[in-house]
Structure 1
Amino acid sequence: MTRRAAELLGVVVFFLVLALGIVILRCYVRLRIKRCFGLDDGLAVTSLVFYLVAAASMIEGVRAGSFGNRWTEMEPSVLLKGLKLLFVYESTYIVATTAIKFAVGFFLLRFCVERYQRWIIYIILVILTGLTFFIFIFVLLQCRPPSWFWQQAIDSHGTCDGSGLIMAAYVHSAITGLSDAVLGLLPICIVRSLHLPFYIKCYVSVILALGSCAAFATVARMCFVHELTDPKNLFEKTGILVWSYIEVGVAIIASSAATLRPLLDEYSCYNPRWRRLHSQHKSTETSSHQQSTCMTYEEALQHNNLGMRITPISPV
């Protein structure tokens, strides 16, 4: 196993374990503690499923001797298998990315106060839908015939649109990065008008913006898109594979982490000050004790903004 292959395998296993564990915790919180499994939770699970397929394709590629190795040093059978696995990875990456972006969008919809905030999210989701269809179809049809993507290892009759692939990769990275940035800044607008102390606004903004942390990985991924100019770099130079995989993994982990607050309320004696917001308005000791035992940040937001929608968008 080469050094690049070992590095790729380490990254894949590390983020796979983290993503799998945190999504399991998310499902536990939504099903057992909150007892409301929303559309955003279903999309997070869907993204994880495709993420698992992408991880399996790369692990198998490393095991077979294709991923992380030089194209010219592979046997035709190994190269053929590697190209098939790469095709599977590209397809599942696109679906997993879109699913987790939708999960973040629907999660933020629960907390939107103003109509324009909802419209911003709707517009982003529509743009992502169109982008996904375009990129997915392009990946399927980038070679003529489509099967030549992997059969180029044993057959010289066919062509692939290499320049078009690079352009599509830049467009996809730019739009997904911009959507992450907008969804990451939107929580500031959501909590700005709330009647809450400043430190609580900062805390809630950070929690709601966690799902957009993948923007940093998206920017890093764009720095390696130029490697696609030479098809023989697809396996040896693993930069774009690593950062595209990290991009989805960070999005799954961060967006699911934003939903785990009730887990601390359930199993920890830690009671931060913001959970006692409602009790501060009570003068008697009895009512204060009753109101300070189970207030989550969602309930605190709802108490201060009775019109806020914090229930799941729709059950699945």
Structure 2
Amino acid sequence: MTVNRNAAVRAIPAVFLAVTSITVLLRCYVRLRLVKAFGWDDGLMVLAMAVYAMFCGVMIGGSLYGTGKHFADLTASHRVTAMEYWWLCEIGYCFSSIFCKCSICIFLARITIKRPHLAFLYIIMTCTVLIGLVLMFALLLQCRPVSYFWTRVAFDPNDEGTCVNTEVVIALTYAYSGVAACCDLAVGIVPFFIIRGLNMPWRRKVAAIGICSISCIACCAVIVRIPYVPTFADQDFLYATYEVAVWSNVEVGLGIFAGSLATLHPLLKLLRTAFIQPGLKRLSSRSSSGPTAPKPDFVSVSSYPSPSVSLFRPGNVMNTTTTIQADGEWVADPESCSPRASRDTGMRTNDILIQQTFNLNTGWESRNSSVA
């Protein structure tokens, strides 16, 4: 079956642009309204989304002028315009990929406890930024003048310019793909070592590791793209490099989607509390006449992050409240819990309520925590 390459170049960015926009907007809602802790990782992801939107826009624009089509089927002006859009796509891909990967690493740094894990994340970020910038400058400055990259396809004998050997660009792309795939896989493995030492039920550990590791699925697109890298040397450039364009867009789109999805647990918990749990309680009240044992819903952390990562945290002091309670009728009981809890919640009759409020100071001066 023949694939309409031009239509695919137009459709795939449109789909991923819609999906990633929704997930990033939900991420911003969670961090700004629910958690109220908008950090560096969120800012970088928003920046990655903005550049990715530009990437998708110029990719769709290039498809209108001939990306995915044969040179022979295009006019000289359309060939030149499509190649110029391709050049802009290279800028969008490099910057959006760097911002996205750094955002994911900083997100993991915010929950990292041990210094070796933090150092490992710094190494991944450094490698990602360095190899990304090297590839970007190599692609952008491969021709002299820069505009010769797109004007040469007009095949005008009066147009003068030079470009580096295509084999150099192919070698750098191979190097970038290898480093990017290794970094993505490493980012997927790090959450296992971060979360396994936490004092929490094993099922919740598995879920947390899965959520934090989902961002490494972008490496699949990198690996799939590798066999198509030699198409950079093809004379029918716009048609031959269709797979490279598509999988590059998919790589960044998957990274932004998965990296934002890992932050949406508070929103999912809110929806579950608002819509799912009331229905389950009604069903359980009909099938059971006696009281049920309370189910704890908390996570205990044995130690707190190092102050060296406070740069990536939205604030130095935060409150953490742990509550265990069963069903019953609400009555006021301000002496049984913290002052803040007495304003927000009350006791129930025939009920057990255990509540602790921790003030955690993660600043540079002190690492002590007080229990109120």
TM-score range, shorter chain: 0.7 to 0.9
Q: 2:304 aligns with which of 304, 307, 316?
A: 307
In the other structure, the counterpart of 2:151 is 151
Q: CA deviation at 1:305?
A: 2.6
In the other structure, the counterpart of 1:24 is 25
Instruction: Please give the alpha-carbon distance, in whole angstroms, between the structure 2 residues aligned to 1:123 and 1:237.
Output: 32
In the other structure, the counterpart of 1:50 is 51
Question: Between Structure 1 and Structure 2, whose CA radius of gyration is higher?
Answer: 2
Greater alpha carbon shift after TM alignment, 70-79 vs 102-111: 70-79
Instruction: Please give the alpha-carbon distance, in whole angstroms, between the structure 2 residues aligned to 1:95 and 1:237.
Output: 20
Instruction: Please give the alpha-carbon distance, in whole angstroms, between the structure 1 residues aligned to 2:266 and 2:206.
Output: 19
In the other structure, the counterpart of 1:227 is 231
1:226-264, CA deviations, whole angstroms, 9 ceiling, x for partnerless residues? Answer: 211214233354111110000000000001000001001
Superposed, which structure 2 residues align to 1:151-300 within 5 Å? 151-154=151-154, 155=156, 156-161=159-164, 162-269=166-273, 270=276, 292=297, 300=299
TM-score of the superposed pair, with normalisation by structure 1: 0.86
Q: CA deviation at 1:98?
A: 0.5
**DSSP-derived class of the 2:209 partner:** helix
Instruction: Please give the alpha-carbon distance, in whole angstroms, between the structure 1 residues aligned to 2:72 and 2:171.
Output: 26
In the other structure, the counterpart of 1:142 is 142
Instruction: Please give the alpha-carbon distance, in whole angstroms, between the structure 2 residues aligned to 1:86 and 1:305.
Output: 51
**DSSP-derived class of the 1:113 partner:** coil
CA contact (8 A) 2:221 2:250 kept: yes
Q: In the alignment, does 2:85 pair up with 1:85?
A: yes
CA contact (8 A) 2:114 2:305 kept: no
In the other structure, the counterpart of 1:275 is none
Unaligned ranges ≥5, structure 1? 272-284
Which has the higher relative contact order, 1 or 2, with Cα contacts under 8 A spaced 6 or more apart? 1
Aligned sequence identity (%): 29
How well do the aligned residues superpose, as a CA RMSD in angstroms?
Answer: 2.3
- One-letter amino acid of the structure 2 residue matched with residue 313 of structure 1: F
What is the count of residue pairs matched by the alignment?
Answer: 291
If each structure's helix is expressed as a fraction of its own residues, which one has the higher value?
A: 1
Q: CA deviation at 1:311?
A: 8.0
**DSSP-derived class of the 1:213 partner:** helix
Q: In the alignment, does 2:97 pair up with 1:94?
A: no
- One-letter amino acid of the structure 1 residue matched with residue 195 of structure 2: V
Instruction: Please give the alpha-carbon distance, in whole angstroms, between the structure 1 residues aligned to 2:255 and 2:40.
Output: 17
**DSSP-derived class of the 2:153 partner:** coil
Unaligned ranges ≥5, structure 2? 278-290, 316-372
Q: In the alignment, does 2:30 pair up with 1:14?
A: no
